[in-house]
Structure 1
Amino acid sequence: MDLQAAEKRTKELHNLLNKYNYEYHVLDNPSVPDAEYDALLKELVDLEETFPALKTSDSPSQRVGGEILDMFQKVQHHSPMLSLGNAFNEADLRDFDRKVRQAIGDSFSYVCELKIDGLAVSLRYVDGLFELGATRGDGTTGEDITANLRTIRSIPLRLNEQVSIEVRGEAFMPKKSFEALNKAKDENGEEPFANPRNAAAGSLRQLDPRIAASRNLDIFLYAIGDPGETGVRSHSQGLDLLDDLGFKTNKERQRCASIEDVLQYVEGWQEKRPHLPYEIDGIVIKVDSLEQQDELGTTAKSPRWAIAYKFPAEEVVTKLLNIELSVGRTGVLTPTALLEPVKVAGTTVKRASLHNEDLIREKDIKIGDSVVVKKAGDIIPEVVNVLVERRTGEEVDFLMPTHCPECESELVRIEGEVALRCINPKCPAQIREGLIHFVSRNAMNIDGLGERVVSQLFQEKLIEDVADLYKLTYEQLISLERMGEKSVANLLNAINASKSNSLERLLFGLGIRHVGSKAAKTIAMEFGNMDKLANATREDLTAINEIGDKMADSIVAFFEQEEAAELIQELKDSGVNMEYTGARPVAAEESDSVFAGKTIVLTGKLEQLSRNEAKEQIELLGGKITGSVSKKTDIVIAGEDAGSKLTKAEQLGIEIWDEEKLLEELKG
């Protein structure tokens, strides 16, 4: 291929990849499979390597993270990034409304938006090309983090129009990405992030852009730096313009005619926020008209035409009764605070993770302290701080042991890790936790083998590894405490039934480091059986989408162990299935189902199916599930308490089903 032909093909690939990227990361409505995108991206990278002059700053290949930076440069924003004043209750919001009415009268409307808990950034485009991205900094000067922001796939590198514009947004880490990141940190004995906001900020302030690229960040754009230059006359029109240019905005926004509407919006999202796939910490309320915004003006720090309502963070005080230590299946020693039971955000909390020894020292936590407890992200209980002034002198320092509380092996702290770890492969706690993981719901799903029964079997030395589960007899089980004839019969039936599980459940159950349930299914579908996987090379594994170097190395290392080969052979001898028997999605053109080729949104609570079950069944019949309602949506399936997605579907005239209709169509 000569340079002219290569240049033509490169432009075609840019257009295709940008289109597919926008559909996937902004519309949540992909039109091609991941494999198609990956193949086109590889073709582009090969072309750019052959013809270096064709590699441009807006190329889709420039999202993986480039060279490590020496430092962040300071940059000036074209217009100030003002911070907002805060409201903490209804009275504060009514006071804000009163001041607005005093200044501009009664004829105006508000726009309410979710306040994303992330990192405010500014993006600068010149002639439609992404030129610069910066942190908020002090509002006038930020830090140049362009290289890191390029790795966020929902940020367009080229706009739909050749405009020069500076826009503002909130970069954030979705809950799933946050959970996966902290899980990996825990397994590696590293300090976990306290919340998604810190994780997002920490990711974007890395000097190595490849780290940011690995963190699966996202962004919502919420404003134009200087909207006057665009010709729009209202904030809501500005958001529509951002949509047209190819930016990702949050569709849960709402125009409100009165403060009563605002309060209703606030109350609604205070209830619905736990169900969002990202964290919000409040609601932003803005006067919609730009002319009225100018009339209201700003103070030195914040605009008079906008305010941020902050959701109350529920914190309570209780007593720390003791600190318990547990050894996980990777050997990491985790301290847990045992608390005097206390109600937090609607549930009774008795325990809170303390993560590691460093956190206990940093917060100066002693047994007997009065502590402030909250739920991180309204989900995970955590000790915020100690009320030192309430100490009586009877509090006791907590000392981490030097030896494993389960096997007495000396604990080690691996270089670069904050956690203490037991590295004895025969540590009973690690074996027991591995057994509990193996029988768990997402793994082999053996009903009746809960944590108590597994611990009992292990303590009685009836099982030492997972293969022993399939050698248990009626005589062994009937002798155990609280095990009657019916319980034993049910348990043996459940163990026997698990032998026919599809390969991905066994893979996940084996506890191979870094292999989660989703990756296990991807691997099982790709290789088909255990023998092929056991003989796979690192290159074979990394060729699969979603499988990175670390996971590939871990899988290869697992199968290289003689003990692993022996264990798998024992499982084979017991009749445990080693093949992938799960269903494979039907291509839309090969399905005669009503779902074939349709774009479907699930919203609200289903009674007879879980969301995952419904999604899986629809996809197997050739349907495509997306998370947001748009003109391209064919069907919205609405369960109980369906919210804004149902409302939008009604406005757009989209076909709406209830769960009964869904079940009827699934039966065919």
Structure 2
Amino acid sequence: MVRQGSFVGQDRTVSSQNVEPQPVESPPVEPSAAERYVVLVELIQSYRAAYYNEDAPLVSDAEFDLLYSELETLEALHPQLVSNDSPTQVVGGDVSVAFAAVEHLARMYSLEDVFSLAELEAWLLKAAASVENRGGTAPKWLTELKIDGLAVNLLYRDGVLVRAATRGDGTTGEDVTHNVATIKDIPQKLHGSGFPAEVEIRGEVFIGSKDFLALNEVMVAAGKAPYANPRNTAAGSLRQKDAAETAKRPLSMFVHGIGAREGLTTATQSETYELLKSWGMPISPYYKVLDTLPEVMDFIAYYGEHRHDLIHEIDGIVVKVDDLATQRELGHTSRVPRWSVAYKYPPEEVHTKLLDIRVNVGRTGRVTPYAIMEPVLVAGSTVEMATLHNQDVVKAKGILIGDIVVLRKAGDVIPEIVGPVMALRDAQVPPVREFIMPTHCPSCGTELAPSKEGDIDIRCPNSRSCPSQLTERVAHLAGRGGFDIEALGYEAARALTAGHGPDPAENGGIIAPAGPGPLVSEAHVFDIAQLDLSGVMVWREKRSKGEGTGIFELTPYFYTKATAKKPSVPSKTTEKLYQELEKAKKAPLWRVLVALSIRHVGPTASRALATRYGSITAIAEALKAPNAREQLADVDGVGAIIAEALIEWFEVDWHQEIIAAWAASGVLMADAVDESVPKTLEGLTIVVTGTLPTLSRDEAKEAIITRGGKAAGSVSKNTSYVVAGEAAGTKLDKAEALGIPVLDEDGFLQLLANGPLLDAEPTE
């Protein structure tokens, strides 16, 4: 839903004749609608007060937006319900009595929010049409990130900061001058000259993502509860009664507009930004002036994927008409400007209940706590589990079992618990309790310990026989980076290695392996066809009309169910598994190296090792050399840490058994040498970024390595070329800033074939 202005007091259309406008009849208000209206107004007002005035939100942004949209819908259907104190009629929050109230010289408006790309497109087309109907040209769009912070208005007189205030209700804010004076980003006196005698500069105060993590580490070290999120911490910091306390918080600010501006002669918003920058004001590095709707959509898509790589948290993108004269022509409604809109990304943060914290044992023995939560919809999918990394992270986040927690889906992929909702902790039934890290492996019972002195992580040292570690290693070797065996997913790996545990209905709905299964070592993974899989059973939830019943039953995993007419036989998926295992035996060496689960050795290092040595035998021989560590570390893409991990792995007897068993089963442990591939890129370092038309990122990197070049992951002054596809992002920007040649795919293919042509210009 697009948030529009008030439905009260809007002009009604009249004909060109001089007649009185006829009243518009509204549908009668049903008692249930009126009752719901009162409930919504009270709820939203209480949630706003907690958010703006107490900096302690009781619901997530997504839940608030749903309630607000419901209220707008009710008011659209029944405009006679709308009261002057409706949340749709006011801007921001009330002014706290703890601070002096000050009036802004020019009103501070909220932004109109849209929640889908279709709504954004409709808004932009409507705004563009309005401009063109007024005789203007198609507008340019200043597009920038919507900082999740606190809006502040800075008043400068003769270039000196005389007052700082929060937005408040848009007309009157809270005087926070002394606190704002502690923020290093904000100049007490404007640089240069030419500024108006009186000017209001507006922006957003925030705490950077890295600074927030560091702040919480200090809090936990001092035995205090960590802060829940950067936005509320920034707001609370700015409202400290003692400015000395505010000075202890790592507050920052980016400015994004001007209120009262008499005497200012800039013609565009972007020109104004550059002027503010020349005055010493902090300007966001994340804005662009775009000409077309597709460019705006690309901007949104890019930062949707990279929103957690930024200086600060964001919750959307703001699009503004860049031309200031056009902004003035379009004007404002009672609440929002008609020349700017905020697109809000699908909600990444929601609230849910933390039911329990359990631990998982990974393929290297690392024991990782994970959260079990009441299922909740976030960023388009239902989430009920999230990793907690290690016991120190659990402590640092300050979460207790039973808390209502803030859940975020980082990068729209990985669920992450941000922290507890402290305001709701005391009301939880049963009472919250602390998580205690286990002392023994939940899978095999072995005592847990750090692998090395000083390690934060604790591990199960029973690497060879621990069922959980074996499950993870088998799933890993079959993954896309390893042998890429589609029919051997995680569930199949668990069925093969760990068997079935207790009835999930008696285990909190968790399917827990018991171990061991028919596969007792990954050394025999290519001999699965010779194992008896007919008795391998797994728990499946019974379903009724497509819904889970909570009742589980044991069913065969690799074989079909026997009936009176048909015996149990291998399923089609199992037959496919046998075929894929045979195909995997011909995998290139780098995939074999990834599949061995050598710590720190991923696809990049594996490709580099395969290119340098060509076979497992050659790698093993290199490890016997007196200077093996130095030789391995010198291989591009390897380094000292991976070299040490390789040496340690090959020294273990049962690891050698895996190599021998795979070779005996027919796995190719060496790459065929293709002498026809010329070493055209020797001595060159090349970075591939963005999406190329025909080559995948891995294919491009492999082409570089096989021709003797180094496929680097970051741009530096030592980079020879950058190969850039669509949505290349910051790596392309850095290459251009450093003057590094940039190639498209055609130019890259020419480079692969011919090497660098000294007299040729690089393709831009």
After TM superposition, the score normalised by the length of structure 1 is: 0.50
Picking from 428, 437, 456, the partner of 1:391 is 428
Q: Could you say which residue in structure 2 is the equivalent of 1:469?
A: 525
Verify the 8 A CA contact 2:723 2:742 in the aligned structure 1.
no
Query: Structure 2: how far apart are the matches of 1:614 and 1:564?
Result: 30
Verify the 8 A CA contact 1:403 1:410 in the aligned structure 2.
yes
Per the TM alignment, residue 90 of structure 1 is displaced from its structure 2 partner at its CA by 4.4
Q: Could you say which residue in structure 1 is the equivalent of 2:595?
A: 509
Q: Does 1:489 align with 2:575?
A: yes
Picking from 521, 526, 536, the partner of 2:612 is 526
Q: Does 1:566 align with 2:657?
A: yes
SS of 1:472's equivalent in the other structure is helix
Picking from 118, 142, 151, the partner of 1:112 is 142
SS of 1:334's equivalent in the other structure is strand
SS of 1:454's equivalent in the other structure is helix
Q: Does 1:626 align with 2:660?
A: no
Per the TM alignment, residue 505 of structure 1 is displaced from its structure 2 partner at its CA by 0.7
Per the TM alignment, residue 506 of structure 1 is displaced from its structure 2 partner at its CA by 0.8
- Closer, same or farther in 2 for the Cα pair 1:113/1:546, shift >3 Å? farther
Aligned-partner residue type, residue 642 of structure 2:
M
Per the TM alignment, residue 359 of structure 1 is displaced from its structure 2 partner at its CA by 3.0
After superposition, the C-alpha distances for 1:450-486 in whole angstroms (9 at most, x for unaligned) are 2222222224543222221123344623454332335
Q: Does 1:400 align with 2:437?
A: yes
Q: Unpaired runs of 5+ in structure 2?
A: 1-107, 115-119, 149-181, 188-207, 211-227, 232-255, 257-267, 278-283, 327-339, 499-515, 537-555, 560-568, 623-627, 708-720, 733-740, 748-762
Per the TM alignment, residue 586 of structure 1 is displaced from its structure 2 partner at its CA by 5.1
- Closer, same or farther in 2 for the Cα pair 1:585/1:309, shift >3 Å? farther
SS of 2:637's equivalent in the other structure is coil
Q: Percent identity?
A: 30
- Closer, same or farther in 2 for the Cα pair 1:332/1:86, shift >3 Å? farther
Aligned-partner residue type, residue 627 of structure 1:
G
* Greater CA drift, 487-496 or 328-337: 487-496
Per the TM alignment, residue 403 of structure 1 is displaced from its structure 2 partner at its CA by 1.2
Q: Could you say which residue in structure 2 is the equivalent of 1:448?
A: 487
Q: Could you say which residue in structure 1 is the equivalent of 2:736?
A: none
Per the TM alignment, residue 250 of structure 1 is displaced from its structure 2 partner at its CA by 8.2
Query: Structure 1: how far apart are the matches of 2:351 and 2:269?
Result: 45
Query: Structure 1: how far apart are the matches of 2:599 and 2:703?
Result: 31
Q: Could you say which residue in structure 2 is the equivalent of 1:29?
A: none
After superposition, the C-alpha distances for 1:378-429 in whole angstroms (9 at most, x for unaligned) are 4321222223143234444332222111121222245433333222333222
Per the TM alignment, residue 373 of structure 1 is displaced from its structure 2 partner at its CA by 1.4
Q: Could you say which residue in structure 2 is the equivalent of 1:355?
A: 389
Q: Could you say which residue in structure 1 is the equivalent of 2:303?
A: 273
Query: Structure 1: how far apart are the matches of 2:481 and 2:273?
Result: 45
5 Å-filtered alignment, 1:190-201, equals: none
Query: Structure 2: how far apart are the matches of 1:236 and 1:632?
Result: 29
Structure of greater Rg: 2
Query: Structure 2: how far apart are the matches of 1:535 and 1:290?
Result: 70
Picking from 582, 585, 593, the partner of 1:499 is 585
* Greater CA drift, 434-443 or 563-572: 563-572
* Greater CA drift, 455-464 or 541-550: 455-464
- Closer, same or farther in 2 for the Cα pair 1:519/1:117, shift >3 Å? farther
Query: Structure 1: how far apart are the matches of 2:614 and 2:229?
Result: 38
SS of 1:513's equivalent in the other structure is coil
After superposition, the C-alpha distances for 1:524-551 in whole angstroms (9 at most, x for unaligned) are 1111011111122112212211221111
Query: Structure 1: how far apart are the matches of 2:696 and 2:229?
Result: 26
5 Å-filtered alignment, 1:86-125, equals: 89-90=112-113, 112=142, 114-115=144-145
Per the TM alignment, residue 509 of structure 1 is displaced from its structure 2 partner at its CA by 0.6
After superposition, the C-alpha distances for 1:108-150 in whole angstroms (9 at most, x for unaligned) are 98773554999xxxxxxxxxxxxxxxxx971269xxxxxxxxx
Q: Could you say which residue in structure 2 is the equivalent of 1:578?
A: 669
Picking from 411, 418, 436, the partner of 2:456 is 418
Query: Structure 1: how far apart are the matches of 2:397 and 2:342?
Result: 30
Per the TM alignment, residue 348 of structure 1 is displaced from its structure 2 partner at its CA by 1.3
SS of 2:519's equivalent in the other structure is coil
Picking from 184, 190, 194, the partner of 1:138 is 184
Q: Could you say which residue in structure 2 is the equivalent of 1:324?
A: 358
Aligned-partner residue type, residue 428 of structure 2:
R
Aligned-partner residue type, residue 577 of structure 1:
L
Query: Structure 1: how far apart are the matches of 2:440 and 2:409?
Result: 31
SS of 2:532's equivalent in the other structure is helix
Aligned-partner residue type, residue 597 of structure 2:
G
Query: Structure 1: how far apart are the matches of 2:370 and 2:635?
Result: 38
After superposition, the C-alpha distances for 1:12-71 in whole angstroms (9 at most, x for unaligned) are xxxxxxxxxxxxxxxxxxxxxxxxxxxxxxxxxxxxxxxxxxxxxxxxxxxxxxxxxxxx
Verify the 8 A CA contact 1:584 1:620 in the aligned structure 2.
no
Structure number with the bigger relative contact order (C-alpha 8 A, sep ≥ 6) is 1
Aligned-partner residue type, residue 391 of structure 1:
Q
Per the TM alignment, residue 310 of structure 1 is displaced from its structure 2 partner at its CA by 8.2
- Closer, same or farther in 2 for the Cα pair 1:277/1:521, shift >3 Å? farther
Query: Structure 2: how far apart are the matches of 1:464 and 1:541?
Result: 32
Per the TM alignment, residue 343 of structure 1 is displaced from its structure 2 partner at its CA by 0.9
After superposition, the C-alpha distances for 1:477-530 in whole angstroms (9 at most, x for unaligned) are 345433233544332222222111111111001111111112111111111011
Verify the 8 A CA contact 1:110 1:285 in the aligned structure 2.
no
Picking from 354, 378, 386, the partner of 1:344 is 378
After superposition, the C-alpha distances for 1:316-356 in whole angstroms (9 at most, x for unaligned) are 22222222211111222112111111111222111111222
Q: Could you say which residue in structure 2 is the equivalent of 1:437?
A: 476
SS of 2:518's equivalent in the other structure is coil
SS of 1:476's equivalent in the other structure is coil
Q: How many pairs does the alignment contain?
A: 417
Query: Structure 2: how far apart are the matches of 1:618 and 1:526?
Result: 14
Aligned-partner residue type, residue 519 of structure 2:
I
Query: Structure 2: how far apart are the matches of 1:309 and 1:475?
Result: 56
Per the TM alignment, residue 307 of structure 1 is displaced from its structure 2 partner at its CA by 12
5 Å-filtered alignment, 1:165-176, equals: none
After superposition, the C-alpha distances for 1:176-226 in whole angstroms (9 at most, x for unaligned) are xxxxxxxxxxxxxxxxxx9999xxxxxxxxxxxxxxxxxxxxxxxx9xxxx
Query: Structure 2: how far apart are the matches of 1:406 and 1:603?
Result: 44
Aligned-partner residue type, residue 326 of structure 1:
N
Verify the 8 A CA contact 1:367 1:395 in the aligned structure 2.
yes
Verify the 8 A CA contact 1:434 1:511 in the aligned structure 2.
yes
SS of 1:453's equivalent in the other structure is helix
Query: Structure 2: how far apart are the matches of 1:196 and 1:411?
Result: 35
Query: Structure 1: how far apart are the matches of 2:417 and 2:689?
Result: 42
Per the TM alignment, residue 577 of structure 1 is displaced from its structure 2 partner at its CA by 0.8
Query: Structure 2: how far apart are the matches of 1:467 and 1:586?
Result: 34
Verify the 8 A CA contact 1:600 1:634 in the aligned structure 2.
no
